[in-house]
Structure 1
Amino acid sequence: MWFPTVWGGLFFLILLIIGGIFSLKQLAIILAPNAPVADRTYLVVEGWQEEDSLLSALAIFNAEGYQYMITTGGPNRRFLNPTHASYAEQAGDFMLHQGLPAEKLIIIPAPESAQERTYLSAVLVRDWLTLKGESLDELNVHTSHVHARRTRYLYQQAFKDVKIGIYAAAPQSFELKQWWKTSEGAKSVITELIGNVWVVCCFYPGEPGSHYERWAVEKSGQSSDPR
């Protein structure tokens, strides 16, 4: 059996370290892909985003000639007495005040649920499109920087055969290429890295159309997560 020499082993170790450092430096860029698909019928906008990200979504909507914007999001937990009950409604109202025509806006709020919030919003958008008789091959979603990879993955889980495209708004408080230099960048990237690992290895969405898919719990008398 062949074993590398000490110097050969050291060389490979250095290569691994360099590769690891390079991968870590690229982590924010990996988590924030911009990869939209061609369809311009609907643009789904995650409503919890900050105003600068929402403005980015509106600029894309107008520049790319989308027909409709869908705002999503669950209960607003940022304030004790929020003006709007959900992030979907809050973002929708913001878009209207920024000049988006009301007839082009669709607001799909999500209820309080134990289900993963982004996935639940994706399910509700899917079910709304099905109810309207829409049959799409592609759908684009807009979200905030390093949340993009997880958003695309969860929407793809909900939509199955529909190809999901993604827009990632640029962060304002840190640079993707130097995310480790600020506390906000480090916190955002590490949190999203953990979130991505969790949805890939541990997240169970439930069967399409099931009670579990929306609530992450089974109805009384039904079996639990079959994994």
Structure 2
Amino acid sequence: MSYFFGLVVRRERWTLSLRGTLLASFLIVVLAFTAFWRAYPFLAVNHPIHGDVLVLEGWVPIYTLNQVADAFRNGHYSKLLIIRTFDVDERKSREMQATLVNRGLPATSVETVYHPAVRKDRTYHAALAAKNWLGDHERPLGSIDVVTVGSHARRSRLLFQKAFGKTAAVGIIPLDDAAYDSQHWWRTSEGVREVIGESIAYVYARFFFAWN
């Protein structure tokens, strides 16, 4: 029905009742709480394949290297590749390698790989550097495991798998991050920044990153 020479039209429309509004609000709160509660376990996925090679992202803190050494021994790997990125100086790379050897890893099993200074998509280019090194040294590429810090794990596995493609299956091992309590990450600013930042970064890598 129209009024005022057709300038105003009366139309019927469906809308939520009070009960429907309350139910919808409740469901939104439940979904938000579930996503909030499960964010860290989702990001810090732990799924090693136990191949022959363990790849370590070279920016991880020195204090995590005890965990790396344990992972290497427990996984019975023959080679550990430390991927040194543009923002990791050579001194730290040498310190990491020496620390791992002091933790019982054979010196001949630890290699440091440097890739060109790339400020964007660091993890993806680190994965390409690892792939190229393994190819140049004629290492078998059936499977590898990547070790990185906690909430970065799922994104690292995704980017390494995209870089390696069908040439290798990629497993992942997350390291405990002493900067915050992973079970209660929302209680500290470090935890909030890390988990929310990694959540956004994972969505970008999963849906918007253009693979080369």
Cα distance between partner residues in 2 of 1:38 and 1:69: 12
- Corresponding residue of 2:84: 73
- Establish whether residue 197 from structure 1 lines up as the match of residue 203 from structure 2: yes
Q: Check conservation: 2:180, 2:188, Cα contact below 8 A.
A: yes
Q: Check conservation: 2:83, 2:126, Cα contact below 8 A.
A: yes
User: 1:72-126, CA deviations, whole angstroms, 9 ceiling, x for partnerless residues?
Assistant: 121345xxxx5x26x6544223322333211111211122124411111110111
- Establish whether residue 43 from structure 1 lines up as the match of residue 38 from structure 2: no
Quick one: structure 1 residues 88 and 169, their matched pair in 2 at CA, closer, same or farther if it must change by over 3 Å? same
- Corresponding residue of 1:186: 192
Q: Greater CA deviation, 13-22 or 129-138?
A: 129-138
- Corresponding residue of 2:162: 157
- Corresponding residue of 2:135: 130
The CA RMSD measured in Å over matched residues stands at: 2.1
- Corresponding residue of 2:5: none
Runs (4+) of structure 1 exceeding 4 A deviation are 1-5, 87-90
Cα distance between partner residues in 1 of 2:128 and 2:98: 22
Cα distance between partner residues in 2 of 1:147 and 1:153: 10
- Corresponding residue of 1:57: 68
TM-score by length of 1: 0.79
SS at match of 2:117: coil
Quick one: structure 1 residues 150 and 88, their matched pair in 2 at CA, closer, same or farther if it must change by over 3 Å? farther
Quick one: structure 1 residues 91 and 204, their matched pair in 2 at CA, closer, same or farther if it must change by over 3 Å? farther
Count of residues in Structure 1 that have an aligned counterpart in Structure 2: 199
- Establish whether residue 21 from structure 1 lines up as the match of residue 33 from structure 2: yes
Unaligned runs of 5+ in 2: 1-12
TM-score by length of 2: 0.84
2:68 partner letter: A
2:43 partner letter: L
Cα distance between partner residues in 1 of 2:96 and 2:144: 19
Q: Cα distance, 1:5 vs. partner?
A: 4.3
Q: Check conservation: 2:86, 2:118, Cα contact below 8 A.
A: no
- Corresponding residue of 2:10: none
Quick one: structure 1 residues 75 and 3, their matched pair in 2 at CA, closer, same or farther if it must change by over 3 Å? closer
Cα distance between partner residues in 1 of 2:95 and 2:155: 22
Quick one: structure 1 residues 74 and 90, their matched pair in 2 at CA, closer, same or farther if it must change by over 3 Å? farther
Cα distance between partner residues in 1 of 2:123 and 2:99: 20
Q: Cα distance, 1:48 vs. partner?
A: 0.9
Cα distance between partner residues in 2 of 1:192 and 1:48: 15
Cα distance between partner residues in 1 of 2:107 and 2:50: 24
SS at match of 1:17: helix
